[in-house]
Amino acid sequence: MLDLFSYSDLNHSLLVFLALFFVLFYEAINGFHDTANAVSTLIYTRAMSANIAVIMSGIFNFLGVLLGGLTVAYAIVHLLPNDLLLNTTSKNALAMVFSMLLAAIIWNLSTWYFCLPASSSHSLIGAIIGIGLTNAIVTGSSLVNALNVPKMTNVFLSLIFSPIIGLIVAGSLIFLLRYYLNNNKNFYRIHMTPLEREKIDGKKTPPFLIRIALILSSIGVSYAHGANDGQKGIGLIMLVLIGILPNSFLVNLNANKYEIKYTKNTLNNLEKYYLEHTTHKLNIAKNKNAINNSIVNYQFYDAIKNIQNTKLLLENVSDYNVLNIQKRFQLRHFLLSISDFIDKTVNSSDVNSKDKYFLITSKKMILKTIEYAPMWIILIIALSLSIGTMIGWKRIVITIGEKIGKRRMTYAQAMSAQITASFSIGIASYTGIPVSTTHILSSSVAGTMLIDGGGIQIKTINNIALAWILTLPVSIFLSGFLYWITLFII
C-alpha cells in the first residue's frame, strides 16, 4: 500500500491519499446509511438488542466484503467507457475522482440527515454518469459515446426492477405464511407483533425458533449487503487508482508466471475457436449462395485481430512488470475488447450450451489480468463498511421500523422482508449486478404491509419515492458541476 506514494511528488501523493480517504469515507457513510436494512427488523421485533444487532451486522458486512468476489466491483469500473478512463490526463483524473466522490457523499449525507432510506448505489452511479456527460461537453465529444451504454442499461434495469421484485416476492411470502400458519397451534405466534406477544404471553422476545429465523435472515441481509455494496467500494478505489496511477494498476502486476501462461493458453484457444467458427460461417454462406461472404468474415475479424495482437504483446512475457505503460494500456484495451466480443457471441442465437460455457470460462480467465483487487484494498473497504455500519444507524432504522407501515411490524413481516432482501441481493452479487439494498428492503417491508392488511403510510412512501426519483438527476448534476469547477482549480 505504501508503494502508492513512491511514484509521485509530495503534492500528488497528498492528492492520492485524499482520494483514498474520500472513498473510505463514502463507504463508511454507506455502512451507517444502510445498517437499518439489516437491523431494523431485529430491533423492532425485539429479537436482539440494538447494540448487539449493529455489532453483528458490522461483522457480517465485513465478511461479505471479504468473501463476496469482484463481479459487482468491475460492473462499477466499466460504467465509464474504457477510452475515458485510460486517455484522461492526471489533472482530469483527479478532478473526476474528487467530483464523483463529493457528489455521492453530499447526497448520501443529506438523505441520511432527513431520515430517508435513499440508495447509495443510485448516488454513485449518478455521479459516474455526470462525469461522463460533463467530460463529453468539455471536450466536445459525442454525448452518445460519453457512457458505456450497454453496461449502464443493465445497471438501470436492475435498479428499477429490483424494488418491484422485492415488493412482489415479500408480499407473496407473507401471503403464504398467513395462509399456512395463521391457524397453526405451534406457529400462529409468527403473526404477532412484539406488543401482542407481550400482552398475550407475557414475554418480550419472540418464540425461540422465530427468533433464530429472524437473526439468520438478518445475517443474510448483512452479508449480502457487504458482498454487493462492499464490492462497489472496491470498484470505486480501483477506478480511482486506475485513473490517478495507471502505471501501477492498469493490469495485475502481481500475476505470477503460471497465471500469465493460463492467459496465453486461453487466448490460443479463443483464436482457434473464432477461426473455426469463421470458416464454418463462410461455408454456410457459400452453400446459401450469399452475395457478400466478406460480411460474415468481418464479424469475427476484429476479435481475431485483437487476440493476435494480445498474443504478440505477451510473447516471451512471464511478468507484467516488464511491460511499459503504453503496452499496459494496450493490453487492457485488447482484453476488454475481446471480453465485449465474447459477450456478443454468447448472446447470439446460434451458440450452443457447450460453446457458451467455453466462452464464459475463457472470458473469466482473460479478465483476471485486469479485473483484480489487491488484498489491502478489500480489507480497508471491509473495515470502513463495518465501522460505518456500527455508527449513525438509528435515523434510518426509525423510518423503516415505524414509518412505512401503519401498525407495528409482525415477526412474519420482518422475516419475509429480510429473506427476500438477502436472497435478492445475494443473487445480484453473484451475477455481478449492483442493486440498492435500501430500496429492496424498503419495498419488501411495504409489500408485506400491503398484503397483510396493515396498510402503509403514504407520506413516508412518497418521501422515499421522491428520494428514489431525485437521486440520479441530483447526483448527475452535482458531480457534473463539481467536475467542471474542479477542472479549473486543480
Q: Give how far the C-alpha of residue 84 lies from the chain's centroid of Cα atoms, to the nearest Å.
A: 20
Mean pLDDT for 30-48 is 76
For the cut 70, the answer to whether the pLDDT of residue 167 exceeds it is yes
Question: If you search the block for the grid coordinates 467536475, which residue do you land on?
Answer: 483
Q: What percent of the chain has pLDDT over 90?
A: 15
Rounded to whole angstroms, the Cα distance separating 353 from 269 reads: 17
Average pLDDT over residues 272-287: 66
Model pLDDT, residue 473: 87
Q: What percent of the chain lies above the pLDDT cut of 70?
A: 81
What would the grid cell of residue 59 be?
461483522
What pLDDT score was predicted for residue 111? 79
Asked if residue 465 has pLDDT above 60, the reply is yes
Q: How far apart are CA 329 and CA 124, in angstroms?
A: 26
CB within 8 Å of 326: residues ≥ 6 apart: none
Report the half-sphere exposure of 195 (CA within 13 A, side-chain side). 3
Average pLDDT taken over every residue of the chain:
80
Q: What type of residue is 247?
A: N
Give pLDDT tens digits for 288-322: 544 444 444 556 778 888 999 999 999 989 999 99
CA–CA separation, 192 and 199 (whole Å) = 10
Q: Which three cell numbers stand for residue 256?
A: 505470477
Least confident of 61-65, 182-186, 190-194: 182-186
Q: Is the pLDDT score of 70 beyond 90?
A: no
The sign of the torsion formed by the CA atoms of 260, 151, 468, 136 equals positive
Q: pLDDT tens for residues 416-447?
A: 888 998 888 888 877 777 777 777 877 888 88
Has residue 279 got a pLDDT over 90? no
* Helix H or strand E segment including 390: none
pLDDT at 307: 92
**Is residue 359 very low, low, confident or very high in pLDDT (cuts 50, 70, 90)?**
very high
pLDDT for the residue 267: 94
Strand stretches in 184-287, DSSP E: none
Rg (CA), the chain: 25
pLDDT at site 180:
81
pLDDT at 286 over 80: no
Q: What is the DSSP string of 285-306?
A: HHHTT-S-HHHHHHHHHHHHHH
Cell triple for 474: 441530483
In the prediction, which pLDDT does 266 show?
94
When mean pLDDT is compared across 85-99, 218-232, 391-405, the lowest value belongs to: 391-405
The pLDDT assigned to 362 comes to 93
For the stretch 466-487, pLDDT in tens is: 777 788 888 889 999 998 888 7
Give the three-state DSSP class for 261: helix
- For 46, left (φ over 0), alpha (ψ -120 to 50), or beta? left
Residue 230 has pLDDT above 60, yes or no: yes
Average pLDDT rounded to a whole number, residues 369-384:
91
Higher pLDDT, 401 or 210: 210
Residue 198 CA to residue 46 CA, distance in Å, equals: 11
Res. 81 pLDDT band, cuts 50 70 90: low
Q: Residue 339: how many CB atoms within 10 A of its CB?
A: 18
